[in-house]
Amino acid sequence: MRIDVLSLFPEIIENYCQTSILGLALKQNLYQLNTHNPRDYSKDKHHKVDDTPYGGGAGMVLAPQPFLDCLGEVTVMSDNCVTRAPQDPQLQLSKLRSFGTRKPCSRTPQQAPYPETLEIIITSPSGQPLTQELARELSTKKQLVILCGRYEGFDQRIRDKATMEISIGDYVLTGGELAALSIIDATLRHIPGVLGDPQSLEDESFSKLNYLEKLKELQVSKKEMLSFLEETGISREELEELQLLEHPHYTRPADFRGDRVPEVLESGNHKKIFMWRLAEAIKLTRLKRGDLLN
């Protein structure tokens, strides 16, 4: 996957992506990161990127020219074509071909402008919420281009060029970099090889799993199943597609200042451990995020 981030503070993005698991994945070429500073594209003699809002009001608005020229410069790759952002109709094929062996895209700006494998994402409090499901979907794309706002946000004409807007929560940050990093981090975890153990993804909060299938695989008896369903208040049908928060974790020592690890976790009985974890996850989800069970 290729990720391009447009930000007035690209070092925030670069520093995070060069650290820990994402840093390792970058070194292993599991994804490519390009940052672009729209200020470098400003045609203003002072490299201004913002201006006062039409109609008055507080704050400054990010102006279309630096962001859209920068976006136009971001080379866009997809499965079977190479194209550029549609606002740059004068694309030079020789430049595009030098990108690789892929065919230049025959789309014109009037046609569907972006390939399905590309998302141009505006970070915004009014975007769709970032969820585990959305992150998984984004991980199937070839390229993400993420625009980070500042000040009062983007001129609408920049927003109009995006394929989606994403919010990381119902609060307002000073800039889109944390949102971009949340999108990048949550997405890259779904790329094979990024996490050491792919099982980690399955066992995590918000994964939608067929637990009935798993219980069957563990050869849970009819009697055990009935008492499990009664204890957890979940139906067989619900078990087939459950989205849960994660169960509690424990590590050594088994006894920390008199506080003991639940006995079942030391039993070595995989079936019992799985059923205990699942029951705890259901309890926790009902307590903290009942909406996930509805």
Between 105 and 148, name the residue whose CB sits nearer to ligand SAM.
Answer: 148
Binding track over 76-115 against ligand SAM, x by CB under 6 A:
----------------------------------------
Between 23 and 129, name the residue whose CB sits nearer to ligand SAM.
Answer: 129
CB 169 → ligand SAM: shortest distance, Å?
5
Distances (CA, A) of 155 to 19, 122, 134: 33, 11, 25
Pair of tokens at residue 128 = 């769709």
Between 64 and 149, name the residue whose CB sits nearer to ligand SAM.
Answer: 149
CB 158 → ligand SAM: shortest distance, Å?
10
- Do residues 109 and 87 lie in contact, with contact meaning Cβ atoms separated by under 8 Å? yes
Find the binding residues for ligand SAM in span 168-227 (CB under 6 A).
168-169, 171-176, 179
Between 155 and 247, name the residue whose CB sits nearer to ligand SAM.
Answer: 155
CB 59 → ligand SAM: shortest distance, Å?
7
Residue with tokens 């299938």: 213
Binding track over 115-154 against ligand SAM, x by CB under 6 A:
--------xxxx---------------------xxx-xxx
Q: Is the dihedral of CA 209, 213, 219, 221 positive or negative?
A: positive
State the Cα angle at 9 between 5 and 10, rounded to 5°: 40
Site size for ligand SAM (CB under 6 A): 20
Q: Give the CB-nearest residue to ligand SAM.
A: 149
What DSSP letter does each residue of 113-132 carry, written as one string?
-S-TTEEEEEEEEEEEEP-H
Q: What are phi and psi of 33, to 5 degrees?
A: -120, 130
- Tally of CB atoms within 10 A around 89: 11
Residue 67: enclosing H or E segment and its boundaries?
helix 64-73
Residues that bind ligand SAM in the complex, under the rule CB under 6 A: 123-126, 148-150, 152-154, 167-169, 171-176, 179
